[in-house]
Every structure is written in C-alpha cells, then in structure tokens.
Amino acid sequence: MPPSRPTRFFSLAVIAIVALLARDASAQRLTVAGDRFAVDGSPRFLTFISYFGAMGAADVAADFQFLKDAGFDGVRIWPNSPEAPQLMRGDGSLDPSGLQRLLDILDRARERRLIVDVSFTAEHIGGLTAAAYRTAIAFSTSALLPYRNVLIDIENERNLYGPFGRPLGASDVAAIAASIKAIDPARIVTASNSQDLPASAAAQFTADTGLDVTAYHDPRIPSWYVAGQVQSVVDALHRNGRPVYLQEPTRFPNPSTDRAEYFRTAHANAKRAGAAAWCFHTDLGFNLRGTTFRARLQSRLEPEWAFVTSLLPRIHLRASNATHYVVAENGGGGAVFADRRIPGLWETFALAAVDGGPALDRDRVSLRTSDGRHFLQAVDGGGGAISAAGEQPGAWETFIVESGAGEAIAAGQTVTLRTASDPSWYVSVESGGGGPVSVSRTSKGQWETFTVVAALP
C-alpha cells in the first residue's frame, strides 16, 4: 500500500532538512535564561515587530536589513496568512512551495541575525482539524530544526482561535507542545492568549501546558501604556517564573494609539517591569505585497514611522558649559573632543542599550559614531583617553549611563557616563567644554555631566 500523502511529504521534508543542516548555521541562538531570553548566551530584552504578511512580502531581504538597522531584534510572522502562499494544508501536510518560501524567509533572517517568532494560525486553513493541525506543526518543527533563531507560537490568541475557528483547548496545546519537544527538545514554544483571559490565568495556562514562555496580548484600554498598568500585567504573568512576552500590546483602532510617544512609553515600561520581550504591533504588517515594509511604515508618520525611527535614538552630547558638543573627528575612527559650537553629523551618536530595548537610567550602553562603523571607546577600559576607534561594542566601548530619572534616557536630560569595565571612571570634558574628552576622573562633578540633545532626522 503506498504511503499517505502527509507521510510522503514528511519523507521529502526529512531529506530537505539533511541538506539544510549542511548549510552554515552561524546565526543567533535563542534560548531561555530564567525569566529572560538569551541570544548566544547573553540575556537580552527583545524587541519584535509584526510582519505577519512575510510569506507574500515583496522584498524580504530589504525589509529585514531595514528593520535590523532600525534596531529591531526580530519579527513576528504568520506562515498561514491568507494574504500569501500558505504553509499548511487542510489534511495536515505542508505545501512544498509554502515551505520553501518560509525557509527562504528564515534564511534571510539568519543572514541579518534576526530572531523570528513563527506564529501559527489554524483558523486560516480550511478543513484543518486539531489532529491534522498537530501533524502539520510536527512537520513544521522538523523543517525548522536548523534554525536556532526561531521560537514557535502554537496558535495566535489560542483562547479565541484554532482549527475550524474554535479556541484551541489546553489539552490540544499540551499535546502539540509535547510533540514539538519530542522532535526538538530545545525549541522555545509558546501559545499566545488574548486579553480576554486575565493575565494571572494566562500565566497558569502556560505552566499547566508545559510552555516555555507566557505570550500575552495585554488589555487594549486607554491606559495600556502607563507604567502602573504595564507593571500589573507583567507581575501577574511572572508568577510562573517564565519569560513574559508582550506580543501584541495594542492594535488599531484603539484609544491611545495615534502617537509614537505612547509606544515608546509602553516599550520602556515593559522593560522596566521585567518583561523579556515586547512587540510593536502594527496593522501595516499584514499585507506586504507590492512594496517594501519601509515604504509602508513611512506612509504613516504617526505612530509607525516616528516610533521605528526612534528605536536607536540619534543624539548629541552637550558639555556642561552649555556651549560645546562632543565630536568624533571625521565621523569616527580617531580623536574625540568637545569643542564644537554647532552640532552636525560628526557630533551625532546612536545610543543603544547593550542588553536590548530602550536605554534606561543605569543601563549599559554603546555610542556609535556617525560613520556607522565606530564606537566611543575608553582606551584600556578607563583612566585615560577616550577615542572613537572601537569597531565592536565590547567591554571598552560600553558605558553606564545615569540620569537619576529612573526612566528611559530622553532629550533634555542631564546624564553622566561611566566606564562599564571599571565603573570608577567617568567621562569628563576639561573645563566643562572647549577641549579634549577623557575618562580620567573618579568622581562626578560638573565637568562630568552632559545634556542629551535630540539630533535632527
């Protein structure tokens, strides 16, 4: 008797996997470290963006390069999106062209060192039963084995959706999660819940079904971004000790979604509250055919474009005399002074939190120069000169930024910068401005303070 169609396809998939395993797999490795995510072994707060229509995107490579340069850690995709080639079939097999498209997307993500949240949506596949869905996810898990930069969401908002448009129950989620782990024990697995389920119940569901991460779509209310609201949600989700992934903080149309400032505040509050990841959820990520994602985001200046372009803030550092600005000569690669009165390109730095997310008060940060290739560097880790010759954000290129505000670093704040490798040294400008910059002072005074000024786009 000839093998069934799903079995024949599975055999072909195994052959494909062997070929894939032979490829260079030097991409990021996503793991869980306590209640945080870790990338290549280093704990990191992850920032995702909705990119649901990836399967039909016009130029995935260009989109991913743009998102990486903008400061995103990863994307959330729907392989079964109805707006593109779909991965799954109603009988539980995988469509070969859909699978190839998905693997191509993951290859492009791996090349750019992006994390991918592969969120399945059973409701988009006609005739799919719970049993067939489990089979399709098992096939998908095998195909994803070479990609260690991927996490799996068994079902988007599983308490609302699933096969035949019905909720996917706890027993089905547990069985699917177990089948994934049987194939790939190290794969990070979740199943997201909508705000219709209280946060505490979502945490319990994650624990009961053996999931690795609590993925939650928190309440879509006017105060969704406020510190107290975010903290209460994260605290409730944290009760199971697993990472908290705020996967869809809000959506359109909804109160308090018309300005990027709401999203910047929510993003910072999620990190401060102890979440492991946060996703910028935008309806512009659904249909990606015919144009680049950048063009779609740019078509809506508020909140999308304003938020996306603020992830890696470009700043000037004004010396304490309120007259001079820090400058990396030639845009980077050499000397650093604080003797320019009008800030321009060479006086511009990209501020990034080393551990991911927005730069908060007391975070470890790097400052990339305007040539895009160099970083401010405390020579020998502190005690002497500062240069802009660092080519990677290593120990000497890492500083502790302090504002005393206990919140995200923002324009108008007065900050100090200490060397991270030896926190006893402060970045200082002789006479408060007009001359060289060093890291030779062990106490904080006026000359060791700087005002953050937003650089023009």
Q: What is each CA distance from 414 to 154, 230, 279, 409, in whole angstroms? A: 45, 26, 29, 9
Q: What is each CA distance from 71 to 15, 68, 144, 341, 399, in whole angstroms? A: 36, 5, 25, 29, 19
Beta strands in 222-335 (DSSP E): 244-246, 277-280, 314-319, 325-328
Residues 247 and 376 in one domain: no
Which secondary structure element, helix H or strand E, spans residue 21, and what is its range?
Answer: helix 5-21
Residues 81 and 120 in one domain: yes
Q: Are 130 and 163 in contact (CB under 8 A)?
A: yes
| pLDDT of res. 26 | 56
Residues 264 and 320 in one domain: no
Residues 261 and 157 in one domain: yes
| pLDDT of res. 347 | 98
- pTM of the complete model: 0.92
Left if phi > 0, otherwise alpha if psi is -120 to 50, otherwise beta: which for 10? alpha
What CATH number does residue 320 fall under? 2.80.10.50
Residues 284 and 340 in one domain: no
| pLDDT of res. 13 | 45
Residues 304 and 333 in one domain: no
Q: Are 433 and 324 in contact (CB under 8 A)?
A: yes
Domain boundary among 285, 308, 331: 308
- Dihedral angle sign, alpha carbons of residues 451, 448, 361, 36: positive
Domain boundary among 275, 308, 341: 308
Structural domain total, the chain: 2
Residues 271 and 349 in one domain: no
Structure tokens at 265: 């505040």
Q: How large is the greatest C-alpha to C-alpha distance in the chain, in angstroms?
A: 88
Residues 67 and 196 in one domain: yes
Query: Who contacts 149 (Cβ-Cβ below 8 Å, separation ≥6)?
Result: 27, 28, 29, 30, 74, 106, 109, 110, 113, 114, 115, 116
What CATH number does residue 58 fall under? 3.20.20.80
SS3 at position 48: strand
State the CB neighbour count (10 A cutoff) for residue 125. 23
Domain boundary among 248, 276, 308: 308
Provide the residue range defining the domain that includes 10: 5-308
Residues 273 and 366 in one domain: no
Q: What is the pLDDT along the chain (457 residues), one digit of tens a residue?
A: 344 444 444 444 443 443 444 344 457 999 999 999 999 999 999 999 999 999 999 999 999 999 999 999 999 999 999 988 999 999 999 999 999 999 999 999 999 999 999 999 999 999 999 999 999 999 999 999 999 999 999 999 999 999 998 999 999 999 999 999 999 999 999 999 999 999 999 999 999 999 999 999 999 899 999 999 999 999 999 999 999 999 998 876 666 788 999 999 999 999 999 999 999 999 999 999 999 999 999 999 999 999 999 999 999 999 999 999 999 999 999 999 999 999 999 999 999 999 999 999 999 999 999 999 999 999 999 999 999 999 999 999 999 999 999 999 999 999 999 999 999 999 999 999 999 999 999 999 999 999 999 998 7
- The full length of the chain comes to 457
Residues 203 and 349 in one domain: no
Residues 291 and 337 in one domain: no
User: d(Cα 433, Cα 419) in Å, to the nearest integer?
Assistant: 20
Query: Who contacts 320 (Cβ-Cβ below 8 Å, separation ≥6)?
Result: 429, 432, 433, 446, 447, 448, 449, 450, 451
Helix axis angle, 96-111 relative to 130-143, nearest 10°?
40
**For residue 58, with 0-12 CB atoms within 10 Å meaning exposed, 13-18 middle and 19 or more buried, which class applies?**
middle
The residue among 360, 373, 363 whose CA lies nearest residue 399 is 363
Bridge partners (DSSP) of residue 317 are: 452
Residues 250 and 337 in one domain: no
